Amino acid sequence: MERKRPDEPDADERLLLANAILALLSAHERRAVRAGGQLVEFRLRQSVYQPEATIDAAYFPIDCVLSVVHRMEDGSLIEVGTIGREGTTAIPLIMGADTTANESFCQVEGRAWKVPATAFVALLEESRGFRVAMNRYLQAYVNMLGQMAACNGLHSVLERCARWLLMTQDRVDRNDFPMTHEFLAAMLGSRRSGVTVGAATLQGAGYIEYAHGKMTILNRAGLEATACECYRVAQEQFNSLLQLRATTEGVTGGPTR
């Protein structure tokens, strides 16, 4: 039986390394994250945070994708942020708050590392390296929100649809994931009819395949050519500030690109 090398990461360590922000930490800081946390599985549409409810934990996605949405008085939703393996849900905690005005739920099911809020805040206060990593992510996230706000106001549904699909694929590191036109319309803040036309255009071009609530990326290069500049700008934010790296094969179950 092959023995594990002393310096070889175990299963939990490999999972933590799959999250780009945790991969920035020192081994000592990751041990502190592991000591106070646990691996959890998020189901599709499972609630993460509710508006004004006390935040009891921070989550670091491994291969799930979480949406941050604002609910209007008429019940309609619009996505104001997306969090995948490049970051954490803990932005309110980083900023010193223990509640959020927005709702958050699972957009694509998968795993995340859960850290109790008290342990997360203690790490912020005690570890300079941990605080620096979280602040770098916060800067990238805020920059991305500004870019997405401009994108929603200036670019076509087709361009934004291609951008959104690319960003989701990057976060799950696989070519297929559950998606409905109704949900995509809510995330883009667009009419369902416009999203349906956009998705049909992408499918007709051979870039995607959509059937029975499942989206499959067939031609990534085609999607990249269709997407607006905001996809590239958003990626550059995380690449430069977080040194975002592709996961190794087997960590998330997806291919390495």
For residue 187, give the CATH number of its domain: 1.10.10.10
Positive or negative, the CA dihedral 205, 185, 46, 113 is positive
Claim to verify: residue 20 and residue 70 sit in the same structural domain: yes
Cβ proximity of 137 and 21 under 8 Å: yes
- We report the CATH number of the domain holding residue 105 as 2.60.120.10
- Domain membership flag for residue 57: yes
Cβ proximity of 115 and 32 under 8 Å: no
Q: In a 10 Å sphere around its CB, with 0-12 CB exposed, 13-18 middle and 19+ buried, how is residue 2 labelled?
A: exposed
Claim to verify: residue 101 and residue 61 sit in the same structural domain: yes
- Virtual torsion, Cα 156, 232, 234, 28, nearest 10 deg: 150
- Domain membership flag for residue 61: yes
For every one of its 257 residues, what pLDDT tens digit does the chain have, with 9 covering 90 and above? 445 455 566 788 888 999 989 998 999 999 999 998 999 999 989 999 999 999 999 999 999 999 998 888 887 777 888 899 989 999 999 999 999 999 999 989 999 999 999 999 999 999 999 999 999 899 888 888 887 778 777 788 899 889 889 988 888 888 998 888 787 887 777 777 788 888 889 999 999 998 888 899 999 999 999 998 888 887 777 776 555 443 333 333 333 33
Element (H, E) at 224: helix 220-226
Claim to verify: residue 78 and residue 191 sit in the same structural domain: no
Positive or negative, the CA dihedral 87, 257, 235, 212 is negative
Q: What's the angle, vertex CA 207, arms to CA 205 and CA 213, rounded to 5?
A: 110
Claim to verify: residue 143 and residue 174 sit in the same structural domain: no
Claim to verify: residue 67 and residue 186 sit in the same structural domain: no
Q: Which residues contact 179 (CB under 8 A, 6 or more apart)?
A: 168, 210, 213, 214, 215
Say what the pTM is: 0.82
Domain range spanning residue 180?
156-227
